[in-house]
Structure 1
């Protein structure tokens, strides 16, 4: 993996990207961010396993060569677009989060120019929180949310344009 800065681009999520993402394996404690197997996602018709939802809400983040580096969900809510973000595991922790997040925020601003942008992050995920703060997000709320492993504390972070 090179150490030079990478430019990221947001593109429509293809089914092949979704299948690839389902195979990503994060090291603990980040393994909470893993997905079900692709065949199961498709069979259940959930998240990006649903072709309509994938088209309407999900985007892929690619590098200059078109290689898949991550994804984002742009989830529309009343007056807000909530981001769900995932970076390819082997790219995490190498100082590329700022440019990765900037590409996603710009895509959200283009698609939903009149909405606030926010995201949720587990309170223990300081690596992500630092990146989000560098990109202009501020913690505005703390609450418990159900996860596959029980209720966990989350921050809501809002983007300051």
Structure 2
């Protein structure tokens, strides 16, 4: 049994997640508090993750896990992969929860979507996450540049078979 409970997103969980802010340089992953972000969190592709009834993170699957610049570059056209996005509560990052957290999201994606192959996008500067993904069996397959608030950020596309 998984250490974490992955559940359909509730409005209460979405409202909390929509307020999460990360310290630099990880602030790229911060939510804006914007109502459009709240709508996205509630669109059925996001799932809340709990540990001992405490909200600790989320997963998203499909198009919302893709970065627009990668989509524009045609990097997500291979449909055999399920795209996964994830976010751990800002206060819990770097505490050694990453591998078990990611594993629970992969297991949920496999069960919920019958996925056998996964793909994710990660900012190149996020060495901690890249190391985690490599340890979980992901391999870099491409890179692309995404412009966010006037800043160019290189992203890696990683796949796991």
Q: CA RMSD in A?
A: 1.9
Q: CA deviation at 1:114?
A: 4.5
Cα pair distance change 1:32/1:114, threshold 3 Å: closer
Deviations 1:47-102 (Å, cap 9, x if unpaired)? 21xx4x1x2x1111111x12111001111573221111110001000111000000
Q: TM-score if structure 1 supplies the norm length?
A: 0.82
Q: 2-side partners of 1:126 and 1:36: how far apart?
A: 24
Match of 1:14 in 2: 10
Question: 1:58·1:74 contact (CA, 8 Å) conserved in 2?
Answer: yes
Give the alignment partner of residue 61 of structure 1, picking from 49, 52, 75: 49
1:119 and 2:125 aligned: no
Q: TM-score if structure 2 supplies the norm length?
A: 0.82
Q: CA deviation at 1:41?
A: 3.4
Cα pair distance change 1:145/1:38, threshold 3 Å: closer
Q: CA deviation at 1:144?
A: 1.4
Match of 2:60 in 1: 73
Q: CA deviation at 1:128?
A: 0.5
Structure 2 residues without counterparts, runs of 5 or longer: 64-75
Q: 1-side partners of 2:109 and 2:50: how far apart?
A: 16
Deviations 1:110-133 (Å, cap 9, x if unpaired)? 122245210000111001011111
SS in 1 for 2:158: strand
Match of 1:152 in 2: 153
Deviations 1:7-34 (Å, cap 9, x if unpaired)? 2221111111110011112111111111
Q: CA deviation at 1:38?
A: 5.0
Structure 1 residues without counterparts, runs of 5 or longer: 1-5
Question: 2:46·2:61 contact (CA, 8 Å) conserved in 1?
Answer: yes
Aligned length in residues = 146
Match of 1:3 in 2: none
